[in-house]
Amino acid sequence: MPRKSLQTLSEPMYYVLLALTKELYGTEIMNEVRRISGGRINIGPGTLYTMLDKFASNNLIKRTNHSLSTKSYIITDDGKQMLKEEYSRLNTLLNDGQGIVEGL
């Protein structure tokens, strides 16, 4: 059975939603993702804008600045719910594996 789109988030997607808990434009999003992830996650403009389009079409983020030169974005209530669900899912994975991995 195919996986439902956006049922779970990739690591970069998760970090973009985390970053968009405050209003940011493209370069700021890339910088914030890098900062939050401690430099582990670097997202290029092509990947970022593809991701932002997908998030916007699924009502997870909204565009807040409609000028031609700057596009700002922020997470929506649906996006916050998705972020909370993904956070919970990741915590479940950690908890399920904790005793097993620590026993290795």
Using a cut of 0.85, tell me whether the model's pTM lies above it: yes
The pLDDT tens digits for 28-84 are 999 999 999 999 999 999 999 999 999 999 999 999 977 777 889 999 999 999 999
* Polymer length of the chain: 104
DSSP letter at 20 equals T
Answer yes or no: are the C-beta atoms of 22 and 74 closer than 8 Å: yes
36, HSE (Cβ side, Cα atoms, 13 Å): 19
Report the C-alpha gap between 26 and 32 in whole angstroms: 10
Handedness of CA 42, 35, 45, 60 (dihedral sign): positive
